[in-house]
Amino acid sequence: MVCRNRRYVAVRQTAAWCYRGGSISAEPRINDRIRVPEVRLVGPSGEQVGIVPLAKALELAQEYDLDLVEVAATARPPVCKLMDYGKFKYESAMKAREARKNQAHTVIKEMKLRPKIDPHDYDTKKGHVVRFLKQGDKVKITIMFRGREQSRPELGFRLLQRLASDVEELGFIESNPKQDGRNMIMVLGPHKKKTEAMAEAREAQAARKAERQGYAHDDDAEAADEAVEAPAEASPEAPAPTDTPSEA
């Protein structure tokens, strides 16, 4: 079959590069790479054309100046669609890039405590846990037992329950307290997703920046008003000279 459509030929030649080292890439077969006698054809707007011979489907692709793309190879017969394959690949790549850009990986932070921690250290550690949960991160809490403390696991359990209760507005117990060798661990998960936490942080930062700029503008305007309203101080005038009659 002779193809007079230049764009059709260019896409067909580009598709030949899908073969690498004898293996076939995950890209769909298009145009004359499709090797079946007939296909179930879907039109450019998603309309069902029906089962047609492959030659007829390729002819329609050239008439529409589009590509014939195999979208369901395992179907019998395979499902093919008329589309601009180059545009489809570009849009798919942009969507994947945007998804990777917006994707937020969940990070597991770790906080270690002793079963007999003093109140000041506890408040400090709890502050870190609060900050992590606000950021949308999970927190692994580890209670470290030493010496005879290992015979008192209830101390660690009560401490973990206390911490979970103190931060329950920000996080929940994702993994219940359990013994892990000499330690006892618990995992707290944030109520907010990482993406939501990042969005709120950006909004708060933008609000603070706008507020600072507003204060600076107000200060400049106030200084300008004071300069205009301040009366100029009159300089003292020198006394006018007087003629003193000389004594004869």
Please check whether residues 36 and 76 belong to one and the same domain.
yes
Please check whether residues 80 and 114 belong to one and the same domain.
no
Please check whether residues 174 and 126 belong to one and the same domain.
yes
On the question of pLDDT at 75 being above 80, the answer is yes
Q: What pLDDT sits at residue 194?
A: 66
Q: Which of 80-89, 168-177, 190-199 has the lowest mean pLDDT?
A: 190-199
Report the C-alpha gap between 138 and 105 in whole angstroms: 11
Summarize the confidence of residues 185-197 as an average pLDDT.
83
CATH number at residue 173: 3.30.110.10
Strands 79-83 and 38-42: parallel
For residue 56, being part of any structural domain is answered with: yes
Report the C-alpha gap between 151 and 145 in whole angstroms: 9
CATH number at residue 60: 3.10.20.80
Please check whether residues 78 and 113 belong to one and the same domain.
no
Structure tokens at 197: 């936490």
Please check whether residues 31 and 67 belong to one and the same domain.
yes
For residue 36, being part of any structural domain is answered with: yes
Please check whether residues 125 and 185 belong to one and the same domain.
yes
User: Sheet harboring 171-180: ordered strands across?
Assistant: 108-113, 138-144, 183-190, 171-180
Please check whether residues 83 and 112 belong to one and the same domain.
no
Range of the domain at 122: 108-194
Report the C-alpha gap between 30 and 27 in whole angstroms: 9
Please check whether residues 25 and 56 belong to one and the same domain.
yes
Please check whether residues 80 and 122 belong to one and the same domain.
no
Instruction: Using a pLDDT cut of 70, give the percent of the chain over it.
Output: 72
Residue where a domain stops, chosen among 26, 56, 87: 87
Q: Which amino acid is at 103?
A: Q
85 touches 49 (CB < 8 A): no
85-102 helix and 6-15 helix, angle to the nearest 10 degrees: 50
For residue 135, being part of any structural domain is answered with: yes
Secondary structure of 116-158 in HEC code, one letter for each residue? CCCHHHHHHHHHHHHHHHHCCCEEEEEEECCHHHHHCHHHHHH
Owner of token pair 């931060």 = 167
For residue 125, being part of any structural domain is answered with: yes
- The 10 Å Cβ neighbour count of residue 143 is 26
Please check whether residues 79 and 117 belong to one and the same domain.
no
Please check whether residues 74 and 151 belong to one and the same domain.
no
Q: What pLDDT sits at residue 31?
A: 92
For residue 241, being part of any structural domain is answered with: no
Q: What pLDDT sits at residue 162?
A: 96
Q: Is the pTM of this model over 0.75?
A: no
Please check whether residues 55 and 114 belong to one and the same domain.
no
Structure tokens at 132: 């992590």
Structurally, how many domains does the chain consist of? 2
Report the C-alpha gap between 173 and 113 in whole angstroms: 17
Q: What pLDDT sits at residue 99?
A: 76
Summarize the confidence of residues 122-140 as an average pLDDT.
94
pLDDT digits (tens, 9 = 90+) for 36-55: 999 999 999 889 999 999 99
> What does the mean pLDDT of the chain come to?
80
Q: 37: burial class by Cβ within 10 Å (0-12, 13-18, 19+)?
A: exposed
For residue 238, being part of any structural domain is answered with: no
For residue 134, being part of any structural domain is answered with: yes
On the question of pLDDT at 106 being above 80, the answer is no
For residue 100, being part of any structural domain is answered with: no
On the question of pLDDT at 12 being above 50, the answer is no
